[in-house]
Each structure stands twice: as structure tokens, then as C-alpha cells.
Amino acid sequence: MLTSLSLAGCVAYAEETVQEPKYIDLHKHLDGSITVDIAKKLAELQGIALPTDNDEELKDLLTVSPDCKDLNEFLDRFELPVSLLQTPEGLSEAVYLVMEDCKATGDIYAEIRFAPQLHCENGMTQEDAINAALEGLKRSDLCGNLILCCMRGENNEEENMETVELAKKYLVEDGGVVALDIAGAEALYPTENYRELFAKAREYNIPFTIHAGEADGAESVRLAIEYGASRIGHGVRIYEDSEVMELARDNGIFLEMCPTSNSQTRAIDNMEEYPLKDYLHYGIKVTLNTDDSAIEDTDIGSEYDYIRKNFGLSDSEVLTLLANAVDAAFTSYEVKCQLREELGLPYVPEENAEYNGITAEGAETAEAGSVFDEKHLVIIDTDTAGDDAMAIAMMAKAPNVEVLGVTVLPGNVSLEQ
Ligand SMILES: [Zn+2]
């Protein structure tokens, strides 16, 4: 477990962070991260006239007021950025510039998410949008990946399914599309509606996170976990149901928490009771992220500072959050090693690396029940979601078993040599 960190690691980190804090941001929307600077560059590149030349007025159009009135005010702020992201060059440049911003604010790894279907207003297809975003990602020298968002909404089942198919087509371990998500109005379009969509993602072995427990309650998170999400976008409302808290903890589910966003969208009424540290101490794998940094006028360091200042986040707790982020990242073992090194975290041997909270070491004794022979690793999973079996399959690194192929069957997973 990475929560038991060596003192040496803590000291190394503490010394290093005095000079230059290093972070990981796993939950960052492209359209919500378009700053005044980026908007101006995108407008100029595409010959688009912005609604105003005045920076202050432009910022008002891109950023919510500190006492954001309601969710509508928040959602209105997406209008201008989305209009600047409708051509391949605009989208590519935006990904590049947002990655540059991440680097400038201390991120050593970032996952940028966007919904390809929101970039098809001027003739781009979803696939064009993905290719444009990939081009921008590759121009940045910051280590990072893309998450494709499906959207909660009406009459967009086809578009969502297309996003899943494209995620399958473009899925890589590193340096490109690494996972799926669903974003949008959770309270209006509940997670229950997307069972089939994520069953398809599971069938294709596409890792995914789901926005849940933000505008809707703990039940939404329970469903997301049941569907097979290894990470939850926000999950801040799981305190409403102790069984869901237990489920998240026992399944090693990562929460991508974003305090400023939760405050502005009123996901939490009283920020003095923001549950991040409670979840951390309960044993849930919490990570700290920005969500929509331009709309919220925040950055990753400010999110850490906010929790530090208001809840007394210690250096070792910072380290745990970062270690959780490394574990949660949709990236290769090699990149995780590199990130651990940069953060001053202890080295974790590959066979002990965690995937959905299960170590390879534990694979043979997983509650799922496993059968090994010389050529095959067969895991019969007993839980309804098949999470454990999926996690072990994803590792494909169980001791003494060379895995050449993965076959997913309903309720169980067979790894064939
Ligand atoms: Zn989000």
C-alpha cells in the first residue's frame, strides 16, 4: 500500500517542494481551462472576433464571480471557450496551451479531458476532434494523456456510443487517449441511464472514470463503481451513504476531488465541512485536482493551498494525495515510476503496483478466486461488477505468468498465453 510511505520519502519531498512544488492533475476539462490569454491566442489563430477587446470584460465572460450564484452562471462560462474550439487548429492549439499552463503551474503530469461531440459545430467529426487534440498533446513536452468524455443529455446516445468506439480505436497506454468519462448534468440525466454505455466500455477494456456524487448523491457513485469505474469524478457526496464510502474504500476507488469547483457549483453547502480529509483518513484514495481552472480562476497549487490552509493538510498528507494520483493515473508503469521519482516517492516494484487497489502479489488470493496453470491465468470473479477480475487482467503482470492475450467473458476474465 502506498499510504505507508517512508520517512525518507517525506523528507526528500519536503525539501524539494520548498523551491518548486510538483503536482499531478487528473481532472481537468479542456473547455473549462481556457484563460483570457489562451482565448486571445485561439481567436487570433482562427481569425475569430472576441466579444470584447478588454481583458477584464473577457475574464468576466470566462470566469465565474467569486460568489458564483448558481450552476447556470457556471455553465454559461463554457459558451465562449467552446466556440473557440471548433476547428482542428483551434482545438490542437488549445490542448497544447492548456498543457503548457499545467507545466507552468507545477504539474509534472496532466490528464486533459474533453467531449469530442462538443467540437462538431463547424464540420469537424468526433474523430477529427480527437486527432486535433492528439496533435496538440504531442507538441507539448509535459507528460500527459487525454480522456474522452461522453455527455449526459438528451438524444445523444449515438454520439456517446461513437465516442466509446473512437476511444477503443485510439486507446493507447501512454501519450494519447487513455480512458473515457461522462460529464454533464448529473442530476438531470442520472448515472442509471448510462449502464449500457459503460458495459460497452468494459467489453472493450477501456478504463474509465465517471463524474458522480457531485450534483447527484451517493447512489450515483455506487452505480459508477458497479459499472466498473476505477475513478470517480468528484464523488464528494459519498458521505451521504456510509455503505458507499465503504464500497469506495474497499474497492480502492480513486476520488478526483476538486474543492473550488465543488464550492462554486454548490455540490457542498458548507465548505467548512469539505470532506476531503475525512475521506483520506477513512482510507479512501483521494486525489486533488482543478476541474475547470479558468472558469474557477484557480490552479493546482491553489487547490492544495486551500486545503492546507483550511484543513491543515500536512506534508505527509500532501504526499499521500500525490501518491494516490500516481496510482490513479491512466498511464503506464514506466511513467508511474518516473513520476514517483520526480515526487520523491518510494519506488514500487511492478508486481506490487496497484490497479484498482489489487496488487499482483494479491492476485492469487484475490477474493475473486483465481486459477493458474502453466499457460493460462483464469480469474473467476464473483462480484457483480467484475472489477477485481478486470483489475487483475489489466495488470497482465501476475507473477510467473506471461500473458499474451486477454479475453473478457461475462463475469470472468481469462488471460491466455
Ligand atoms: Zn469535471
Instruction: Please tell me the predicted confidence (pLDDT) of residue 94.
Output: 98
Taking the centre of ligand 1 as the mean of its atom positions, its distance from the CA of residue 276, in whole angstroms, is 16
Q: What is the mean pLDDT of the segment spanning 291-319? A: 95
Residue written as grid cell 489563430: 45
Instruction: Please tell me the predicted confidence (pLDDT) of residue 22.
Output: 97
Contact 166, 148 (CB under 8 A): yes
Taking the centre of ligand 1 as the mean of its atom positions, its distance from the CA of residue 233, in whole angstroms, is 6
In whole angstroms, what is the distance from residue 123 CA to residue 98 CA?
23
Q: What is the mean pLDDT of the segment spanning 161-180? A: 98
Taking the centre of ligand 1 as the mean of its atom positions, its distance from the CA of residue 262, in whole angstroms, is 10
Distances 168 to 157, 204, 252, 280, 355 between C-alpha atoms, Å: 17, 6, 25, 33, 20
Q: What is the mean pLDDT of the segment spanning 164-171? A: 98
Is there a domain that residue 135 lies in?
Answer: yes
Would you tell me how many other CB atoms lie within 10 Å of the CB of residue 221?
31
Partners of 254 in beta bridges: 231, 285
Is there a domain that residue 301 lies in?
Answer: yes
In whole angstroms, what is the distance from residue 62 CA to residue 298 CA?
12
Quick: pLDDT tens for 255-286: 999 999 999 988 888 999 999 999 999 999 99
Instruction: Please tell me the predicted confidence (pLDDT) of residue 400.
Output: 41
Instruction: Please tell me the predicted confidence (pLDDT) of residue 380.
Output: 42
Q: Which three cell numbers stand for residue 68?
A: 458564483
Q: What CATH number is given to the structural domain containing 85? A: 3.20.20.140
Q: What is the mean pLDDT of the segment spanning 293-308? A: 96
Instruction: Please tell me the predicted confidence (pLDDT) of residue 75.
Output: 83
Taking the centre of ligand 1 as the mean of its atom positions, its distance from the CA of residue 28, in whole angstroms, is 7
Choose between 17 and 177: higher pLDDT.
177
Phi, psi of 261 (to 5 degrees): -60, -45
Q: Please, is 374 exposed, middle or buried when counting C-beta atoms within 10 Å of its C-beta (0-12, 13-18, 19+)?
A: exposed
Instruction: Please tell me the predicted confidence (pLDDT) of residue 71.
Output: 72
Taking the centre of ligand 1 as the mean of its atom positions, its distance from the CA of residue 376, in whole angstroms, is 39
Contact 403, 396 (CB under 8 A): yes
Residue written as grid cell 470584447: 52
Residue 347: DSSP 8-state: P
The confidence band for 362, taking pLDDT boundaries of 50, 70 and 90, is very low
**For residue 16, is pLDDT > 70?**
no
Q: What is the mean pLDDT of the segment spanning 107-121? A: 98
Is there a domain that residue 413 lies in?
Answer: no
Residue 121 belongs to domain spanning: 22-335
**For residue 303, is pLDDT > 80?**
yes
Q: Which three cell numbers stand for residue 159?
A: 454520439
Instruction: Please tell me the predicted confidence (pLDDT) of residue 15.
Output: 44
Nearest Cα to 77, choosing from 339, 347, 294, 356?
Answer: 294
In whole angstroms, what is the distance from residue 382 CA to residue 413 CA?
11
Q: What is the mean pLDDT of the segment spanning 124-144? A: 98
Is there a domain that residue 399 lies in?
Answer: no
Phi, psi of 371 (to 5 degrees): -125, 125
pLDDT over 70 for what percent of the chain?
79
Taking the centre of ligand 1 as the mean of its atom positions, its distance from the CA of residue 183, in whole angstroms, is 7
Q: Which residues fall inside 5 Å of ion ligand 1, going by CB?
A: 291
Taking the centre of ligand 1 as the mean of its atom positions, its distance from the CA of residue 29, in whole angstroms, is 6
Nearest Cα to 232, choosing from 73, 57, 414, 387?
Answer: 387
Instruction: Please tell me the predicted confidence (pLDDT) of residue 291.
Output: 97
Is there a domain that residue 13 lies in?
Answer: no
Instruction: Please tell me the predicted confidence (pLDDT) of residue 307.
Output: 96
Taking the centre of ligand 1 as the mean of its atom positions, its distance from the CA of residue 291, in whole angstroms, is 5
Question: Known catalytic residues?
Answer: 214
Choose between 17 and 404: higher pLDDT.
17
Instruction: Please tell me the predicted confidence (pLDDT) of residue 274.
Output: 96
Q: At what angle do helices 242-250 and 218-227 cross, to 10 degrees?
A: 30
Instruction: Please tell me the predicted confidence (pLDDT) of residue 297.
Output: 95
Q: Please, is 269 exposed, middle or buried when counting C-beta atoms within 10 Å of its C-beta (0-12, 13-18, 19+)?
A: exposed
- Whole-angstrom Cα Rg for the chain: 21
The confidence band for 349, taking pLDDT boundaries of 50, 70 and 90, is low
Contact 183, 116 (CB under 8 A): no
Quick: pLDDT tens for 363-407: 433 333 343 333 344 444 434 344 444 455 444 444 444 333 333
pTM as predicted: 0.81
User: What is the count of structural domains for the chain?
Assistant: 1
Is there a domain that residue 6 lies in?
Answer: no
Averaged pLDDT of the chain: 84
